[in-house]
């Protein structure tokens, strides 16, 4: 009989966000490796793409109590969820998702293994309960460290609630059969929270090198009104969520200092900080920053190839708790990076020895801006360093972070856990 895995994730296809794309590929790898795969997730609510929805229609069950779809012959169960503005409605939706996930998870027969990514922490608790009642194993994948992230954001100020989350975190880590995290910095951060650290493993994120690869700009299908030729201009880009994880202050200051130089910036995407950024660009008359709406994932290789260099300016509050998956896609498309982040952070740790990025880790705001301005001025005059970095980055990704190599690590870990369980029994 086939081994059956339940993948329980807050997001999955047809939702158009990075964790969804990541888990789409992980699910397919398990399916290709002979597992029966069932996915338990939400309805698309982060980045709803009509084209994706038309290819993967959601069919209501029990009058819309939940929905089902097919992703490459994999059964996907969707629990309704929306991005409510009201805190009360968000809490109700969150509780509804957890309650129904528990019920629907328990309805699945012959589950051998449950795999899920954080956030939220509570998804791990639900999985442990399902696994206990179904005799299954659990792998919990730490994509972001909670409650650390909430504390650094300033979102968590209640000490009793903080203590509760700390207890929940340790419960999930120690009751899971295995825990994976994406980086050695994360590994060292959470290792002391385990009674048995041997169950903690590092499996990095990855990139689909079939989709993300170098292409010539003249072979892309970009809108020339948004992305004109701009010969003689150093094109600097950020494409992704315009949110709180990034520090937008340096961008505005750097752009201000580079008005009149052959350097222009493109910021592409949506997010909670977009209105602020738009207002600052207008107020400061920063004509060298181009703010562009979200572009389809299929356009990303062309977008990445359009720019000469891509920037990621991490906020001090968030830099230690997350790793931007766009790092992999940019390097896979053979483009260099310009990164502001403190030392001993996941992104700095990953790029430090890779020779494919300019790393700016100065202490003060002024020092950071001055260093970046100097880097971009030099690059606008001579692109040889950018070309060398681009080649090094593409080599690194192909060798260690391709989709096939990393997804196989998840399958190997699952096989190991289930084989060990079989021998014990």
293 burial (CB, 10 Å; 0-12 / 13-18 / 19+) is exposed
Minimal CA–CA distance to 331: which of 255, 258, 390, 412?
390
Minimal CA–CA distance to 312: which of 288, 280, 345?
345
As a whole number, mean pLDDT of residues 96-105 equals: 95
pLDDT given at position 37:
98
pLDDT given at position 162:
77
What residues does 102 pair with on adjacent strands?
A: none
Q: Do domains 4-206+403-424 and 217-400 have the same CATH topology?
A: yes
Q: Cα 26 to the chain's mean position, in Å?
A: 14
Cis peptide before 120 (omega within 30 of 0): yes
Please determine, for residue 155, whether its predicted confidence score (pLDDT) is greater than 80. Answer: no
Percent of the chain at pLDDT > 90 equals 65
212 burial (CB, 10 Å; 0-12 / 13-18 / 19+) is buried
Reduce the DSSP state of residue 333 to 3 states and report it: coil
Right CATH number for 4-206+403-424 from 3.40.50.2000, 1.10.3720.10, 3.40.630.30, 3.40.50.970?
A: 3.40.50.2000
pLDDT given at position 327:
93
Q: pTM here?
A: 0.78
pLDDT given at position 322:
74
Reduce the DSSP state of residue 55 to 3 states and report it: helix
The backbone torsions φ and ψ at residue 24, rounded to the nearest 5 degrees and listed phi first, read -60, -50
Mean pLDDT, all residues of the chain: 90
Question: Domain locations in the chain?
Answer: 4-206+403-424, 217-400
What span, in angstroms and rounded, lies between the C-alpha atoms of 51 and 209? 22
216 pLDDT band, cuts 50/70/90, is low
CATH number for the domain whose boundaries are 217-400: 3.40.50.2000
The predicted-structure confidence for 347-380, as pLDDT tens digits, reads as follows 998 999 889 999 999 989 999 999 999 999 999 9
As a whole number, mean pLDDT of residues 219-247 equals: 88
Q: Which run of H or of E encompasses 358? A: strand 357-360
Residues in the chain: 425
């Amino acid at each position: 009989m086939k081994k059956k895995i339940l993948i329980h994730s807050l997001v999955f296809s047809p939702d158009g966000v990075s964790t969804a794309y990541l888990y789409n590929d992980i699910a397919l790898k398990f399916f290709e490796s002979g597992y029966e795969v069932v996915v338990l997730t939400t309805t698309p609510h982060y980045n709803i793409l009509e084209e994706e929805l038309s290819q993967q229609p959601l069919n209501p069950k029990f009058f819309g109590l939940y929905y089902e779809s097919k992703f490459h012959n994999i059964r996907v169960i969707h629990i309704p969820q929306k991005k409510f503005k009201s805190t009360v409605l968000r809490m109700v939706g969150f509780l509804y998702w957890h309650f129904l996930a528990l019920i629907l998870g328990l309805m699945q027969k012959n589950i051998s293994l449950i795999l899920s990514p954080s956030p939220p922490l509570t998804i791990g608790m639900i999985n442990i309960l399902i696994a206990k009642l179904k005799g299954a194993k659990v792998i919990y994948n730490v994509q972001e460290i909670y409650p650390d992230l909430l504390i650094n954001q300033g979102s968590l100020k209640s000490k009793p609630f903080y203590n509760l989350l700390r207890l929940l975190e340790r419960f999930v880590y120690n009751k899971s059969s295995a825990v994976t995290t994406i980086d050695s910095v994360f590994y060292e951060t959470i290792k002391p929270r385990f009674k048995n650290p041997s169950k903690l493993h590092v499996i990095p994120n990855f990139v689909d090198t079939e989709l993300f690869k170098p292409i010539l700009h003249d072979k892309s299908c970009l809108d020339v009104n948004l992305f004109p030729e701009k010969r003689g201009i150093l094109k600097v880009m950020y494409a992704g969520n315009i949110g709180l994880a990034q520090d937008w202050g340096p961008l505005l200051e750097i752009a201000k200092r580079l008005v009149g130089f052959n350097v222009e910036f493109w910021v592409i995407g949506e997010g909670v900080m977009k209105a602020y950024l738009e207002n600052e660009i207008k107020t400061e008359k920063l004509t060298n920053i181009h703010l562009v709406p979200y572009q389809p994932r299929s356009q990303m290789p062309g977008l990445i190839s359009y720019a000469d260099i891509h920037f990621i300016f991490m906020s001090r509050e968030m830099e230690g708790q997350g790793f931007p998956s766009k790092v992999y896609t940019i390097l896979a498309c053979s483009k260099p990076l310009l990164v502001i982040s403190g030392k001993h952070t996941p992104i700095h740790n990953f790029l430090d020895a890779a020779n494919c990025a300019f790393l700016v880790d100065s202490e003060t705001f002024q020092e950071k801006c001055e260093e970046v301005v100097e880097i971009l001025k030099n690059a606008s005059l001579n692109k040889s360093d950018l070309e060398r970095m681009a080649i090094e980055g593409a080599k690194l990704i192909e060798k260690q972070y391709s989709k096939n190599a990393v997804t196989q690590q998840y399958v190997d870990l699952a096989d190991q856990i289930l084989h060990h369980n079989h021998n014990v029994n």
